[in-house]
Structure formats: C-alpha cells, structure tokens
Amino acid sequence: MENLDTLAANLLSPIILAFVLGVIASLVRSDLRLPDSIYNALSIYLLLAIGLKGGVELNQTPLGEFVGPALLTLGLGLLTPVIAYNVLRRLGRFDRVNASAIAAHYGSVSAVTFIVAITFGSMTGRAPEGFMPALVAILEVPAIVLALMIAFVRDKRAGSWQDALHEVLAGRSVILLVGGLLIGWAVGPSGFEPVKPFFVNGFQGALALFLLEMGIVAARRLKDLREVGLFLIGFGIIIPILHGLLAVWTGGLVGLSVAGAAVLGAMVSSASYIAAPAAVRIALPEANPTFYLTASLGITFPFNVTLGIPLYYTFAEWLVV
C-alpha cells in the first residue's frame, strides 16, 4: 500500500502532470510549444541551480563521505555502457556503430531525470545527500567516451573522437553543472544566500514548464516506435531497471542513504538525450538517430519519470540498511 501511495504521489505531482499535458498536446496536434529561447533559458536555469546547490552542500561535506560515492559513480559510468553494448550486440544483433551509439546514451545521464528524482524525494520527505549533483557531473562524460572508443578501436575508424570529446566537455550541461558546483563550493552557504530565493523558490515552477516541453518532444518520438522494434522497446525499459537496481544496491554499500541510493539509481538508469546525441552526431554520423533518440527520449525518459523513479525508491527501501 505504501508503495502504491508513493507511485500515486509521483504520478499526481504537478511536474509529472505537466509532462503528461505536453504528451497529450502533441498527440492531439496542438500548437502548444515553448519558444526555443524560453526552453533554452529554463535548461540553463535548472542546470545552474542544481550545480550551485550541490556545490554549497559539497562545501560542507567531509571529503571522506564523498570519495566512496564518487568512485562508485565513476565505476558505474564505465560499466553500464559495456553492459548496454554487449546486450545490443549479442542479443539485439545491432552492428558495432549503432550499438556503440546507443550504449553511449545509456551509460551517460539525463540531468532532467536526476532533477525529477530529487524533487520526488523532497515531496515524499526523503532528501538525498546534498553532493548528488557532483555525481551527475562525474557520470556525464566517461560512458560517452568509452562507448565511442569501442566503435573507433573495433572498426579502426578515421573520424575524430577528439572532436566528439570536445563537444561533450564544452557542452552547456557539463559547463553549467561543473561551473555551478565550483561556484557553490567556493562561496559556501553565506555567499549563496543573496541568490538563494531566485535559484530555490522558482525551481519547481521552472521544472514544471520544462517538463511540459519535454512531454511535447517525447511524444514526437512515439511515431518511431514501430521502426525501432520490440527489442529496443524492451531494452529501453529493462536495461534501465537493471542499471538502477545495480546502482541502488552498490550505493547502499558505499554508505548512501535510502534517498541517495534511489537518486543514484535514477541517474544510472537514465539515458542522455543532450550530451550523448551531440557527441554521437559528430563521431558516429552514420549511426541511426531513430534508434538512439527514440530509445532514450521516447521510451526510457517517459518510463523513468513516471514509473521508474518510484521503483528505484522502492528498491532502495528494500536493499539499503
């Protein structure tokens, strides 16, 4: 019963309902759409806000409490694309290029899924450790680099993975998260106080607007489900659950709280749809975007923000002592 209440709390939250409204608007062919300038401004605001708040918390966190989760996150960022690649190659019979492209997305992280997981924990009275945004920054890059290197090494490609790496490291998600973390860490709680009302009080409303637009974008990928096939649909749900379960279990082993392990599970289970597509587009231009975009944005993202996050919190309650 408690788990059903948790699921209902997520599905009936304003943030998820805004996402559903966006899906419905797209399906009925409404002209509802956030202007690109507003969408970009919201993404900058949200990424900088979580970076700043994480940096302030990191300022007050003893190094010993952070090292274990940080090393675990790095390890998971290297392990999960290998798992995804082998499943795609051995069971899905995908070629190396497309398997590498999809694996890059499923090893990296969706910052929006992370934000929704944090918000869900706050709504249900279970706040994770404050340094979790630092783990997002750690998880963002390694999987993309590793997955691209698999394609380059195995196929002896002549393209430039260095350009793809620059695209990831110079992308706004990494710049804003890492930059916000450093600023928050440098100024501490007292320095953050003057801008706290802007970055804290307006966060939920901005997230609702952002999820409204994400619902519209995700619904547009639904038409591609027939092309990606049943295997990739199953992959986009089952692999995130397995990755999330692995992250929750190991998160508990390194000392994360129930909420912290659940948020780590949501992070590791998510699929990147900003940094990874940008890198793959440069390094693996022949990879089929329908595969990696539909899987990450049309299947995994909607699953995680509606059903997956409550599931990872349930896993954490079972596994974390």
Domain ranges of the chain: 2-19+34-319
Read off the DSSP letter of residue 297: I
Residue of 247 and 12 predicted with greater confidence: 247
Please give the pLDDT value at position 15: 87
Task: State pTM to two decimals.
Answer: 0.87
Q: Does residue 214 or residue 246 have the better pLDDT?
A: 246
Asked if pLDDT for residue 154 goes beyond 70, the answer is no
Per-residue pLDDT at 155: 60
Please return the burial class of 188, using the count of CB atoms within 10 Å of its CB with bins 0-12, 13-18 and 19+: middle
- Three-state DSSP string of 46-112: HHHHHHHHHHHHHHCCCHHHHHHHHHHHHHHHHHHHHHHHHHHHHHCCCCHHHHHHHHHHHHCCCHH
CATH class belonging to 2-19+34-319: mainly alpha
Give the chain's mean pLDDT.
89
Model pLDDT, residue 167: 72
d(CA 2, CA 116): 20
C-beta of residue 53 within 8 angstroms of C-beta of residue 177: no
Q: Which of 108, 130, 109 is CA-nearest to residue 51?
A: 130
pLDDT of residue 274: 79
Rg for the chain, CA atoms, rounded: 19
Give yes or no for a contact between 300 and 240, defined as CB atoms under 8 angstroms apart: yes
H or E element in which residue 151 lies: helix 142-155
pLDDT, residue 9, reads 65
pLDDT in tens, 55-114: 998 898 898 899 999 999 999 999 999 999 999 999 999 999 999 999 999 999 998 999
pLDDT reading at 316 higher than 90: yes
Give the distance, in angstroms, between the CA of residue 75 and the centroid of all CA atoms in the same chain. Answer: 16
pLDDT tens digit sequence for 131-142: 999 999 889 888
| Dist CA 144 CA 147 (whole Å) | 5
Q: Using one digit for the tens of pLDDT, what is the confidence trace for 194-231?
A: 999 999 999 989 999 998 999 998 888 888 888 888 99
pLDDT greater than 60 at residue 159: no
